[in-house]
Amino acid sequence: MVRASVLRVHVNRLRARGTLSVWLAVAVSLGLLGILVVLPFLQLLDATVTWSEADLRLDPGLEPGTKTLAHWKRTLTGPISRNAFYQPLANSLLTSLTSAALALLLGTTLAWLVARTDLPGTRSLQILAVIPFIMPSWTIALAWLAAFRTDAAGGGSLFHYLTGASPPDWLAYGPIPIVVVLALHYFPFAFLLLVPAFRSVDASLEEAAELTGAPLLLIWRRVILFLVLPAVLSAFVLTFSRTLGAFATPYLLGAPIRYYTLATILYAHLSTGAVAQGYVVAIVLLLISAAAVYLGQRLLGARRGYVTVGGRGVRPRQVRLGRWRPAVAALTWSFVLWVVATPLLLLLWESLMKYPDDYSLRNLTLHFWAGASQPPLADGEPGILRNRSILAAAGNSLRLAVSVSCLTALAGLFVAQLIVRCRATLAGLLLDQLTFLPYLIPSIALGAVYLAASLRPWGPVPSLYGTFLVLVLVCVIKYLPFSVRATTAALLQVSRELQEAAAVAGAPLLFQLRRVVLPLLAPSIVSGGLLAFASAMRELSLIILLATPAYRTLTMATFRYTEQGLPQFADAIILFLVLLTVLGELAARRLERLTRPGAGYSNGGTPPGSR
Amino acid sequence: MNARPPAIELYRVTKRFGTVRAVDALDLAVQTGEFFTLLGPSGCGKTTVLRLIAGLERPDEGEIRIAGRPVAFPDRGVFVPAAKRRVGMVFQNFALWPHMTVAENVAFGLQARGVPLQEREILVRQALSLLRLEDLGERFPHEVSGGQQQRVALARALVTQPQVLLMDEPLSNLDANLRAAMRTELKRLHQESGATTVYVTHDQTEALTLSDRIAVMRNGRVVQVGTPEEVYRQPATLFVATFVASPNLDLLQGVVQAEPRPGIRAGPFFLPGRASAPPGLRVVVAVRPEGWRLTPDGVPLVVEQVQFTGPDLLVVGRADAHVFQIRVPGDLQVRPGSRLSVVPDTLRINVFDASTEVAMDFVPDDSRGVPDASVGGVRP
């Protein structure tokens, strides 16, 4: 009797504290994330130590289903390990480290110029400079091919047209073009990370140093450099993890001469049936990249402390470029314009060429855009605007992007709410870390993880390979970290007090959400959705292992046409994608800026300067 | 028989955050129509008490009643959400909804309660004019000044005519001039609206000037409840004395003595009188700047510093190892290096047990102390 009433009191207390439903929601989300994030990875791991039917040709003596380390041994120490693992590993490290360093050099210089000098037009420069990063990652690679393609890949290049000679192989393919193209694609990433760092160097720290009478160089060496160094280091590590996981560029510019990196050898293994070996490579890639991102985040985390403190109002003074200003401006502007415009113009021109070797005006045609089927030109395929298979691919891309963006935004909102509600508890932390996990995994490796998981049925769930659902799931899981982070930040910014004020004013929960919380969150939700949309539209490495012909997307179509020697189609499609993704991202960024403090009404209820 | 229950009652209310007891078995009763202040240093739990009353936090234990009705009683599973408590609240950073105009902010609570449009408009206009915001209705919060934002927050809290008005450090985001003006304004509003008000602050001046009663809080507990005069003149503990008077309070370590003459020896002074404590007990004597008397036969001081505060002077004087702060009339001619002679005014001192820091009774034989040397005896 006594015990029953004590129990009732406890349950009542829990219920009165209103935490019962929250914990239920947390448990459900943790379970779902476990199934979608942790389980696939375990299945991948399991597949690398299981002897399958397909492996019988390697060793018919082993019973399928046996647990064995043979795949690991074969990959890491076998006779083919040199060509199939160590050489690609070395290539990967070489290209990703050099391209990250180059990207960092470009990004840091540009960030400093934009953030700390009186360079003219920094505002437009800031938008323009980001475009190479927003474009599908292999846009510049396609342009490079247009310029330097050799006969090895279908022939016909600007270089050949102008010089009459075939470009040398080292210029067309291999480490040099890969490094350059990756650096040009990823320097805006470093730039984006570093501009806030340069901006938020607290001016008073600098002024305090100046008041001691120290010369400018000493201030730079002892104060400014020291303050931004962690940011620069972390930018390097994060850029490295990106270039390491890059797939499309190294594939397009390396595969024709059999120059493989970890990401491309992984693809090669899987497409030649050496599945388990591909999985082993995926795990290695995943570990290196996760270690790098983790390190980068640690460095960034250490920095964040003073960046936010310094980031308030105190604007660092600008360095006057003086008589160097025109020269520096001309150089910077022409570099950025060149990086943005050259690839796009080259692709546009090539997409209008009847034969890819002839840049004269009479070779121009609209066939690849809008022409009807005209065999034998382009193997009889009509222009992209009338091409059934391309339009079907566009339909797939759109369906994927729309479902992914809606789901990501919704799931992000849900998880972010829970994380904010359960902050500083173990469950909240776990939720946060679990959603963040896919961020550590390079896209192509995550694709491999999902491939391994979707090939096998699991409990009541049938094999999902070849379904549209698996494409949606892998994209949502990959983009969720961004959505959750952005929404959490927005939720924290829409200070809790605004909702509480509505509660005190007598508004029921739904009324609070509809009238106060949603209107304030809407810009970030929409911008998050737009970002996911743009990412899904240009997604390739994440889904290339998973998509079957039935669900071919536009991005995969560009790949196929490049391999088929019909670059004009690839160019036309990529230009369309560039347009769509750049517009989407720019719109998202605009919205995001709206929700930042100091812009319009969006300071979360805190009057400016009152804190 | 009690005709009316108190407006707000808290019985043994406890609120934990993790292992920290933010509010610890707290009892409190606020009478209807009262201006009641929770005063304490940051982290003492005063804001949590306010949020518990508002319904923004749920207590772990205890019971909260508003107008006699239980609104939170975890043992019985009772919890009335904030939206149904009919309270108004002014947040520390105002929490005005940035996407609504001033008028929409004020109208929100009426809308949420389904007040018809026409009536709503009248009430909003009344609230805006009560706060002198008539012309600002169409502006957005970021388009009005800090003081005006504060008034919008007040109008929003008052428009629904709540039984209880809660304010969480509402003046801390304003500059000094505005703060003084708003104090007067708050007093006027309280008199006009008659709403029971619970006000949270760490500023003793605000608490003393505005309140009918003050509860001084420390570590999640109420240390003393009383009128401003009581809290100021008869602090229950040394903490209350120092917090309410901070920072200008001189503390003298002393000891109770019975022979040769009953009284307290404290620093260079002897305070004749009867203490409710055994001889030999160590005590602390608190003297406020206005608790000193200038007298020719007092303890001689050398003036070290003179601070002009307007109506009077605050003199910092030294006698051997002791430094005292003394308020003297503004026309007194003193300069650093001048000599003064002072004794404590025994009617205006407070005596605390040095180990428990609780106030003790002290009935002085005389209205002033004397220099210790004139009494003789063994020094403690």
- Per-domain residue ranges of chain B: 8-243, 250-373
- Domains in chain A: ranges and CATH: 32-38+375-603 (1.10.3720.10), 80-329 (1.10.3720.10)
pLDDT for the residue A217: 75
pLDDT at A321 over 70: yes
Q: What is the DSSP string of B183-208?
A: HHHHHHHHHHH--EEEEEES-HHHHH
Measured between CA atoms, the residue of chain B closest to residue A7 is: B75
Q: Where is B15: in which H helix or E strand?
A: strand B8-17
Q: CA B134 to CA B238: how far, in whole Å? A: 47
Residue B306: burial class (beta carbons within 10 Å; 0-12, 13-18, 19+): middle
pLDDT for the residue A264: 95
pLDDT at B124 over 90: yes
pLDDT at A3 over 80: no
Q: Which fold has domain B8-243?
A: Rossmann fold (3.40.50)
Considering only the C-alpha atoms of chain A, give the largest distance between any 2 of them, rounded to a whole number of Å.
Answer: 98
- Hey, which residues does B219 pair with through a beta bridge? none
For residue range B143-192, what is the model confidence (pLDDT) as tens digits?
898 889 999 999 999 998 898 999 999 888 888 888 888 888 899 989 98
Using alpha carbons, list the distances in angstroms from residue A456 to A28, A72, A374, A451, B352: 24, 21, 44, 9, 78
Q: CA A408 to CA A476: how far, in whole Å? A: 5
Q: CA A431 to CA A38: how far, in whole Å? A: 12
**pTM exceeds cut of 0.90:** no
Report phi then psi at A524, rounded to 5.
-70, -35
For residue range A202-243, what is the model confidence (pLDDT) as tens digits?
666 777 776 777 777 777 777 777 778 888 888 899 899 899
* Neighbour-count burial for A283-301, b at 16+ CB within 10 Å, e otherwise: bbbbebbbebbebbbebbe
Report phi then psi at B271, rounded to 5.
-110, 100
CB nearest A505 (choices: B73, B108, B142): B108
Least confident of A143-147, A459-463, B234-238, B316-320: A459-463
Residues 74-133 of B with CB under 8 A from A: 74-79, 81-89, 91-99, 108-109, 112-113
Q: Where is B37: in which H helix or E strand?
A: strand B35-39
pLDDT for the residue A315: 55
Would you state the structure tokens that stand for residue B217, as one six-digit string? 């809080």
Question: Identity (one letter) of the amino acid at B215?
Answer: A
- B196–chain A nearest CA distance, Å: 16
Domain B250-373 CATH assignment equals 2.40.50.140: yes
Question: Identity (one letter) of the amino acid at A245?
Answer: G
Touching check for B160 and chain A: CB below 8 Å?
yes
The model's confidence at residue A287, banded by pLDDT at 50, 70 and 90, is: very high
The model's confidence at residue B374, banded by pLDDT at 50, 70 and 90, is: low
Query: ipTM exceeding 0.85?
Result: no
Report phi then psi at B78, rounded to 5.
-90, 125
For residue range A448-470, what is the model confidence (pLDDT) as tens digits?
999 998 988 877 888 889 899 99
Touching check for A5 and chain B: CB below 8 Å?
no
For residue range B51-110, what is the model confidence (pLDDT) as tens digits?
999 998 889 999 999 999 999 999 888 999 888 888 999 998 888 888 889 999 999 999
Q: CA A369 to CA A383: how far, in whole Å? A: 4
CB contact (8 A) between residue A501 and residue B156: yes
For residue range A19-39, what is the model confidence (pLDDT) as tens digits?
677 788 888 889 988 888 888
Q: Which residues contact A256 (CB under 8 A, 6 or more apart)?
A: A150, A152, A153, A173
pLDDT for the residue A227: 77
Using alpha carbons, list the distances in angstroms from residue B295 to A82, A595, B252, B292, B299: 100, 67, 19, 9, 9
**The most confident of A392-401, A425-434, B92-101, by mean pLDDT:** A392-401
Between the CA atoms of A401, A404, A405 and A408, what dihedral angle is there, to the nearest 10 degrees?
-160
- A512–chain B nearest CA distance, Å: 9
Q: CA A312 to CA A52: how far, in whole Å? A: 59
Q: CA A16 to CA B213: how far, in whole Å? A: 31
- B215–chain A nearest CA distance, Å: 23
For residue range B238-280, what is the model confidence (pLDDT) as tens digits?
999 999 876 678 999 999 998 888 999 998 999 999 988 889 9
Query: What's the distance, Cα to Cα, between the start and end of chain A in Å?
Result: 55
Rounded to the nearest angstrom, the gap between the alpha carbon of residue B224 and the centroid of all alpha carbons in its chain is 10
Chain B positions touching A603 (Cβ under 8 A) are 98, 142
Geometric angle at alpha carbon A601, from A600 and A602, rounded to 5°? 95
- Computed over every residue of chain B, the mean pLDDT equals 89
